[in-house]
Amino acid sequence: MLKYMSAGESHGQALVSIIEGIPSGLSLTHADINAELARRKLGFGRGARMKIENDKAKILSGVRFGYTIGSPVSLLIENKDWPNWQEMMAVDSGKSAAVTTPRPGHADLAGVLKHQSGDIRNVLERSSARSTASLVAIGAIAKKLLSAFGISIVSEVKSIGEVSCTCGQIKDIAKVDSSPVRCQDDNASKEMVKAIEKAAKEGQSLGGTFEVAIFGLPAGLGNYSSFERRLDGKICGAIASIPAIKGVEIGKGFELASLKGSCAHDEIFYDKNKGYHHKTNNAGGLEGGMTNGETLLITAAMKPIPTLGNPLKSVDIITKEQTLAFKERADVCAVPAAAVIAEAAVGLVLAEAFLEKFGGDSLGETKRNFDSYIKTTI
């Protein structure tokens, strides 16, 4: 239903992305996409790059007079830092010293072995999380489509390093976004900022965890009939594909393993106003690979950033001598941004599942199909 792809190097001229399959008639402006790109910059602990890049997407096709027209939507995000890299990243001929000391925890070593390259820059330019700007831009379109059906996606940082917050479900996304670490708990936010400052001074980096919550989903998105069509697999795959994400849980996730069945599962109730519902949500809104009508809850763990101010041991791929990994300007902590990126990743998976269920070439057609499904629920 939905097809998307992106291209572009971290220090190249621009990032380009295309998404195909968005119905016509969806209201879409530059502001919708740029607001999400601005949220990707949020978070204390980002490196100098984020001060340079004030990402703005240019819609090149697929939108006319503020509405999608059913053709592929293509986007261009220029890299503001490109003028400083023109020679090192030249398409025809240029010059640049090769990067030869791979960073532990990055794509560097496996990437040069895979491509048989003597310059790690050829790998790091695309393996860099810069490409997530494209993901956020096309994810913004998916989020806009879902929002036309009352579905909203939010996220919050739950821990950074050893500092955790105790706040429950996200109530106010504006408050989350105004926190320097995207956490609604003011005390925890202050401690998280201190932990990042300390890590920066020590040449260290920090990871953490975040939650993504999706409200307003109808029951029945996804599919139990084949394992590759299950929505839980698609969601976990999409979030684990974000650079540095090393764990994903749905609902109570790992904690469920230690609970007795009677405590783990969400009992089913019915009343005329609410219809079918549960009083608990340990399953996190997914049962049998399908949405069950409850809030979809996903938690993810991000490892510490691999590029360190105090680099780890590495080996020079040309001389084979033991040395230290190379340094490039880097974030100390990017958990707040990763949570925004995860909103986009899950938005794309859900938009795809939504269009698979309801179809429609125009938004009006999708709406008719959706309304008829909601009305005729058993």
Ligand X SMILES: Cc1cc2nc3c(=O)[nH]c(=O)nc-3n(C[C@H](O)[C@H](O)[C@H](O)COP(=O)(O)O)c2cc1C
Provide CB contacts within 8 A for 224, sequence distance 6+: 230, 288, 289, 290
User: Packing angle between helix 132-147 and helix 30-40, nearest 10 degrees?
Assistant: 130
**Does 122 help bind ligand X (rule: CB under 6 A)?**
no
The contact pattern for ligand X, residues 356-375, with x = CB under 6 A and - = no contact, is --------------------
Shortest Å, Cβ 175 to ligand X = 21
Q: Which of 11, 39, 41, 106 binds ligand X (CB under 6 A)?
A: 106
**Does 238 help bind ligand X (rule: CB under 6 A)?**
no
> For residues 47 and 180, which CB has a smaller minimum distance to ligand X in the complex?
47
> For residues 103 and 144, which CB has a smaller minimum distance to ligand X in the complex?
103
Tell me which stretch binds ligand X (CB under 6 A): 89-97, 104-112, 230-238, 254-262.
Answer: 104-112
Structure tokens, 73: 């939507």
**Does 306 help bind ligand X (rule: CB under 6 A)?**
yes
2 close to 340: Cβ distance less than 8 angstroms: no
Q: Which of 68, 134, 155, 307 binds ligand X (CB under 6 A)?
A: 307
**Does 242 help bind ligand X (rule: CB under 6 A)?**
yes
**Does 50 help bind ligand X (rule: CB under 6 A)?**
no
Angle at 374 between CA 372 and CA 378, to 5 degrees: 105
- The H or E element containing residue 148 is none
Report the distance separating Cα 333 and Cα 338, nearest Å: 10
Shortest Å, Cβ 3 to ligand X = 23
> For residues 170 and 206, which CB has a smaller minimum distance to ligand X in the complex?
206
Provide CB contacts within 8 A for 75, sequence distance 6+: 16, 17, 18, 33, 57, 58, 59, 60, 134, 137, 138
**Does 134 help bind ligand X (rule: CB under 6 A)?**
no
Residue 301 φ then ψ, to 5°: -115, 130
Angle at 183 between CA 177 and CA 186, to 5 degrees: 110
**Does 123 help bind ligand X (rule: CB under 6 A)?**
no
Provide CB contacts within 8 A for 337, sequence distance 6+: 40, 41, 42, 43, 46, 132, 331
Structure tokens, 167: 């706040």
Tell me which stretch binds ligand X (CB under 6 A): 22-30, 77-85, 222-230, 238-246.
Answer: 238-246
The contact pattern for ligand X, residues 143-182, with x = CB under 6 A and - = no contact, is ----------------------------------------
Shortest Å, Cβ 243 to ligand X = 3
Identify residue 226 by its one-letter amino acid code: S
Interacting positions 177-216 with ligand X (CB under 6 A):
none
Q: How many residues bind ligand X (CB under 6 A)?
A: 21
Interacting positions 244-283 with ligand X (CB under 6 A):
244
**Does 37 help bind ligand X (rule: CB under 6 A)?**
no
Number of residues that this document lists for the chain: 378
Q: Which of 156, 211, 232, 331 binds ligand X (CB under 6 A)?
A: 331
Tell me which stretch binds ligand X (CB under 6 A): 73-81, 218-226, 279-287, 334-342.
Answer: 334-342
**Does 47 help bind ligand X (rule: CB under 6 A)?**
yes
**Does 337 help bind ligand X (rule: CB under 6 A)?**
yes
**Does 45 help bind ligand X (rule: CB under 6 A)?**
no
- Strand locations in the chain (E): 3-7, 14-20, 57-61, 63-64, 67-68, 73-78, 152-160, 163-164, 208-215, 245-250, 268-271, 275-278, 286-287, 290-291, 296-302, 313-315, 322-324
Tell me which stretch binds ligand X (CB under 6 A): 149-157, 186-194, 314-322, 332-340.
Answer: 332-340
Tell me which stretch binds ligand X (CB under 6 A): 179-187, 237-245, 284-292, 317-325.
Answer: 237-245
Structure tokens, 152: 């909203």
> For residues 120 and 242, which CB has a smaller minimum distance to ligand X in the complex?
242
- 148 C-beta neighbours (distance < 10 Å), count: 15
Report the distance separating Cα 54 and Cα 74, nearest Å: 19
Binding site for ligand X (CB under 6 A): 47, 105-107, 127-129, 132, 242-244, 303, 305-307, 330-331, 334, 337-338, 341
